[in-house]
């Protein structure tokens, strides 16, 4: 090949690799920058509106606190409900703005990712051309270059072009790596924004339900005139009776005796102060596990060498109640440490007869996992030896584990995914309903527990 032609192609490919961003990415980058600029302007406006709403919400909270400090009366309770309704409606407005703000940010992030993906494709195409040219030059050895040229200077020129191509290839490879890293970062941010949007939407739905409930209560109070204090007192008595019923109702637990709801809520609140896990969510997990216990049954281990056992209900024999190499010894050590007979202590049966059972108590931890958590449980509760079958210890164990699985605050998506992981070790996946059903069921139970049992105790 004529060396001048060789120089021309080398220059062309090097120029393409060096200035390709300007040629190929300029137009989409302009669009991305404009979208980002628009999103930033919208965000600034929405943040300003949010700030005003948050100040109004704070003011309503002060009014609410002041009203609750007054002596009990019909007018006082009507005023409290009216303020709560106004506060909730402001909160709904604020959440609507948050969702709108997140929507703009999601659109901007999606456009940025599209631009980055286009950039990667273009660099790959440029790189492919450089590699093809590099192979052509590789096919011609350095000795062949020397023999084919008239002068040494010509040969050095060809070698310089060869070296430049190599540098351009390395540069393109490094650029692809950099853009891929940036793309992954943008995708992670996008997923977080989408989760925030779902969380806020769920909070908005709950706030709307609360407004409806408060409106009904307010109308009920308004229907009672001041001349009918007896009727109002009856309403107060009904509330007190309902509170008493909630506190004394039994909260069912897996493989141990049920406890009063008041005690269950107390344990859940202790766990919340130490881990941040929401009481309604924690109670929903334990309720779900109790339901599974009803469906799947519980077993006794009868052989500490093989892990085999029998169903406590049907007497059916299972060879795989507990995995012998992983859980039998920890199970024996745990039961001995808390003074329980390992042969008379209930554990879960194998699901569907396959795999292994062996999960213990209300929180349903397998023995080897409990051993990993026991020191943290003991430290947070200030005790020496935690017991998987004692409700307070089991509650704390679940809360610790759910925190490790990513549950936090009142984030719907993080709680739902943590619930799925609690059950199967994987986050919720709509393409795998067998996994997601657990998370969906837990979140429905959590909403029910919050609105029907916890909220009435606080009002």
Is 130 inside a domain boundary?
yes
Residue 386 backbone phi and psi in degrees, to 5: -70, 150
Confidence at 39, pLDDT banded by 50, 70, 90: low
Closest to 317 in 3D by CA, of 271, 353, 279, 346: 353
Residues 214 and 279 in one domain: no
Which one of 38-42, 63-67, 198-202, 390-394 scores highest in mean pLDDT?
A: 390-394
Contact call for residues 421 and 401 (beta carbons, < 8 A): no
Sign of CA dihedral 155, 145, 10, 165: negative
Mean pLDDT for 361-369 is 95
pLDDT at residue 63, as a whole number: 76
Given a cut of 80, whether residue 22 has pLDDT beyond it is no
The answer on pLDDT for 305 being more than 80 is: yes
Do 199 and 257 have their domain in common? Answer: no
Q: Which domain holds residue 347?
A: 247-458
pLDDT score of 317 = 94
If one compares 436 and 307, the residue with the highest pLDDT of the two is: 307
State the average pLDDT over residues 68-80. 74
Q: Are residues 371 and 293 in the same domain?
A: yes
Q: Do residues 333 and 291 share a domain?
A: yes
Distance CA 374, CA 378 (A): 6
pLDDT of 421 reads 93
Residue 228: inside a domain:
no
Residues 218 and 363 in one domain: no
- DSSP element (H, E) containing 260: strand 259-260
Cβ(329)–Cβ(335) below 8 Å? no
* Domain match, 302 and 367 both: yes
Do the domain assignments include residue 241?
A: no
pLDDT recorded at residue 152: 46
On whether both 162 and 214 belong to a single domain, the answer is yes
Structure confidence by residue, pLDDT tens digits, 95-153: 788 888 778 778 877 888 888 788 778 777 776 776 776 666 655 555 454 455 555 44
Say yes or no: 142 and 266 in one domain.
no
Beta bridge partners of 171: none
Q: What is the pLDDT of residue 17?
A: 44
Q: What is the mean pLDDT of residues 254-271?
A: 95
Give the lowest-confidence range in 12-16, 49-53, 254-258.
12-16
263 plus 118 within the same structural domain:
no
pLDDT at 232 over 80: no
Give the residue from 170, 187, 222 where a domain finishes.
Answer: 222
Please check whether residue 231 lies inside any domain of the structure: no
- Indicate whether 294 pLDDT > 60: yes
Q: Is residue 149 part of a domain?
A: yes
CA 249, 347, 319: angle at the middle one, nearest 5?
A: 150
Residue 236 domain-assigned? no
* 52-66, 149-163, 377-391: range with lowest mean pLDDT: 149-163
Q: Is there a domain that residue 230 lies in?
A: no
The mean per-residue pLDDT over the stretch 279-284 comes to 97
Number of domains in the chain: 2
Distance CA 189, CA 58 (A): 30
Residue ending a domain, choose from 222, 256, 291: 222
Are 19 and 119 in the same domain?
A: yes
Residues 6+ apart with CB under 8 A from 105: 39, 43, 193
Provide the pLDDT confidence category of residue 41 given band limits of 50, 70 and 90. low
What distance in Å separates the CA atoms of residue 408 and residue 192, rounded to the nearest whole number?
A: 14
Please report which confidence band the pLDDT of residue 21 belongs to, taking 50, 70 and 90 as the band edges: very low
Domain presence at residue 235: no
* pLDDT score for 458: 81
pLDDT recorded at residue 354 = 72
- 255 and 125 in a common domain: no
Claim to verify: residue 212 and residue 251 sit in the same structural domain: no
* Least confident interval from 11-15, 28-32, 110-114, 296-300: 11-15
What's the pLDDT at 205?
Answer: 83
If you average pLDDT over residues 253-273, what whole number do you get?
Answer: 95
Q: Over the stretch 168-184, which tens digit does the pLDDT of each residue have?
A: 777 767 777 777 787 78
For the record, the structure tokens of 424 come out as: 């199967």
Give just the sign of the alpha carbon dihedral 182, 185, 189, 191: positive
């Amino acid at each position: 090949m004529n060396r001048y032609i060789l120089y021309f192609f080398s220059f062309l490919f090097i120029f393409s690799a060096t200035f390709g961003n300007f040629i190929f990415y300029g137009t989409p980058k302009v669009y991305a920058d404009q979208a980002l600029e628009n999103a930033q302007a919208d965000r600034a406006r929405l943040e300003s509106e949010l700030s005003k709403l948050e100040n109004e919400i704070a003011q309503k909270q002060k009014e609410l606190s002041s009203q609750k400090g007054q002596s009990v009366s019909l007018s006082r309770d009507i005023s409290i409900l009216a303020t709560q309704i106004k506060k909730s409606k402001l909160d709904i407005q604020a959440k609507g703005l948050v969702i709108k703000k997140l929507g703009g940010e999601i659109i901007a992030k999606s456009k940025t990712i599209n631009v980055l993906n286009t950039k990667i494709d273009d660099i790959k195409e440029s790189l492919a051309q450089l590699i093809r040219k590099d192979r052509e030059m590789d096919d011609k050895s350095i000795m062949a270059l020397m023999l084919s040229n008239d002068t040494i200077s010509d040969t050095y020129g060809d070698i310089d072009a060869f070296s430049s191509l190599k540098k351009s290839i390395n540069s393109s490879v490094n650029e692809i790596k950099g853009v891929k890293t940036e793309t992954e970062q943008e995708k992670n941010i996008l997923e977080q924004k989408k989760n925030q949007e779902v969380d806020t939407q769920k909070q908005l739905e709950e706030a709307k339900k609360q407004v409806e409930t408060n409106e009904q209560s307010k109308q009920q109070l308004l229907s009672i005139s001041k001349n009918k204090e007896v009727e109002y007192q009856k309403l107060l008595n009904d509330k007190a009776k309902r509170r008493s019923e909630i506190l004394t109702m039994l909260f069912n637990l897996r493989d141990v005796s049920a406890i009063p709801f008041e005690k269950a809520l107390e344990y859940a609140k202790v766990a919340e102060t130490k881990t941040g896990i929401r009481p309604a969510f924690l109670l929903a997990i334990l309720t779900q596990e109790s339901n599974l216990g009803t469906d799947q049954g519980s077993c006794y281990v009868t052989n500490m060498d093989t892990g085999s056992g029998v169903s406590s209900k049907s007497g059916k024999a299972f060879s795989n109640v507990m995995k012998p190499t992983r859980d039998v010894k920890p199970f024996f050590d745990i039961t001995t440490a808390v003074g329980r007979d390992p042969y008379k202590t209930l554990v879960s049966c194998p699901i569907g007869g396959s795999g292994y059972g062996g999960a213990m108590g209300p929180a349903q931890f397998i023995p080897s996992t409990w051993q990993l958590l026991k020191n943290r449980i003991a430290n947070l509760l200030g005790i020496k030896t935690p017991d998987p079958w004692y409700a307070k210890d089991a509650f704390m164990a679940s809360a610790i584990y759910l925190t490790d699985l990513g549950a936090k605050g009142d984030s719907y998506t993080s709680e739902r995914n943590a619930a799925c992981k609690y059950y199967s070790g994987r986050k919720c996946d709509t393409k795998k309903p067998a996994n997601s059903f657990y998370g969906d069921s837990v979140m429905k139970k959590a909403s029910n527990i919050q609105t029907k049992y916890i909220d009435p105790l606080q009002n």
